[in-house]
Amino acid sequence: MSQVFIFDTTLRDGEQSPGISLNARQKLEIAEQLARLGVDVIEAGFPITSKGDFEAVKTIAEKVKRPSIAALARAVDVDIDRAWEAIKNAEKPRIHTFIATSDIHIERKLKKTRDEVLKMTEAAVKRAKKYTFDVEFSPEDATRSEFEFLCKVIRVAIENGATVINIPDTVGYALPDEFGKLIKDLKEKMPELNEVILSVHCHNDLGLAVANSLEAIINGANQVECTINGLGERAGNASLEEIVMILDTRYRSLGKKTNIKTEEIMRTSKLVSSLTGYHVQFNKAIVGANAFAHSSGIHTDGMLKDRTTYEIIDPVKIGLTSSKLVLGKTSGRHGFRRRLEDLGYVLSEKEFERAFKRFKDLADKKAQITDDDIEAIVADEIYTLEEIFKLVHFEVVCGSDIKPKATVKIEKNGEIFKEQATGDGPVDAAFNAVNKIVGLKIKLLSFSISAVTGGTEALGESNLQLEVEGLTVSGHGVSTDIIEASLRAYLSALNKVIDKIKK
């Protein structure tokens, strides 16, 4: 009764965040880290959506051990069959099938009747059960569903073999007391729920995903579906790190525990942030840069006397350390390789040489190199798609009385292309020059530059989103030169477009 299972959907719902497009290598890297973190279930993807997603789920199912590997499927035969093909070689496979149960979804989205939804639920669970013992069923938009009909659908799912029933707050509409009462009422009305795992999946549209998940746990739910850093559709999902640390920190009050190795939380958060290009806000609970930072004189005075005066969590508990190894230009391959291993990166020799070259180039410009710098280099250099468009050279001319002008050289398939353009600033001019070369219809949706570490010689990290030929993609680039970082991010996004078009 005290166990809460953690179902991580970063690779499925989290990847549905606008602009995120992870390749198979990146998805596998995240899945392996989620296994180290100790999650009970990894929802690896939605195999029917694309060949790329199918292959990524299949690879994860074959290579990642210990957690259950789940694949999502609509309540239709082709989805369920495709999901099984992807996960059949998993150590512990799970098919997660779903159908909407609220009248607004049934009538306006599905254009079906309640009876049809009941029949589709029965058929879907039966078909999934033929493949695997472990079948999860979700009545989509449960919190806006009529209660008696919701019970009827859940009962059909259990009678036909569902081992997990998940109650989603799909649009993040519920208040905590309402959601807690729904879970309580379902358990009282349906004693058969005591024979299966009762799960919840809360969205954060009103900022209540974690609060709603906690209320559900208090009222009898024993699985929580969540994501690293709270990623997901629209405003995101319940944040894994927040739920886990609430249960850990308040165990005496709540009496609930998870299998999570909390010391892996920060490493997991940073990996997901680096590979998705979604920054964690500074004041984010648990994993934000300021979560364990103290500025006020009163606070620092208290901290110097006793850490617990202003910290309810020991930062070591989530994988932080009070000191960082600093590398510089005199460091050799051995020291750099050891630090990569300490940070959890295992690179091939070719990848290591590329990362080491970037490290030495940076060391010539920057006196001290931190773990954050190294992680930024690895994310930028190693976990990227094959470079169709490769930056060869750039130069910009700008000033207070000069129209900014940029010259950019790009290599594509061994051929060098060069263009000049002007713009509102040096970055705009550089992007305009790239646009002339690639000849695609490009719209810049968002753009940001931030320093990876402090100091005037810090690495600049650029993150942006582009809309290209109807596709939304994100790009990430790092360099001590912010124009170069911006161009790297721009080309990173364009390479994703080419990769998607190929698929």
Which of the four CATH numbers 3.20.20.70, 2.40.50.140, 3.40.50.300, 3.40.50.2300 does domain 5-276 have? 3.20.20.70
Helix, coil or strand: residue 41 = strand
Please choose, from the candidates 51, 98, 34, the residue with its C-alpha nearest in 3D space to the C-alpha of residue 231.
34
- Please give the helix or strand (H or E) that residue 51 lies within, else none: helix 51-63
Beta bridge partners of 419: 408
pLDDT band at 302 (very low <50, low <70, confident <90, very high): low
Domain ranges of the chain: 5-276, 292-321, 333-381, 389-502
Each residue's pLDDT tens digit, 429-446:
999 999 999 988 899 999
Mean pLDDT of 465-485: 88
Strands 442-451 and 460-468: antiparallel
Mean pLDDT of 224-237: 96
Q: How far apart, in whole angstroms, are the C-alpha atoms of residue 43 and residue 55?
A: 14
Q: Which residues of 447-486 are buried (b: 16+ CB within 10 A; e: fewer)?
A: bebeebbeeeebbbbbbbbbbbeeebbbbbbbbbebbbbb
Give the distance between the most distant pair of CA atoms in the chain.
Answer: 76
The pLDDT value recorded for residue 502 is 63
Mean pLDDT of 235-246: 97
Q: What's phi and psi for 244, nearest 5 deg?
A: -60, -45
Q: Which residue has the tokens 């230009």?
A: 329
Size of the chain, expressed as the number of residues it contains: 503
pLDDT band at 177 (very low <50, low <70, confident <90, very high): very high
Domain at 389-502, CATH homologous superfamily: Alpha-isopropylmalate synthase LeuA, regulatory domain (3.30.160.270)
The pLDDT value recorded for residue 295 is 45
Mean pLDDT of 415-440: 94
pTM beyond 0.85, yes or no: no
Instruction: Report whether pLDDT(396) > 60.
Output: yes
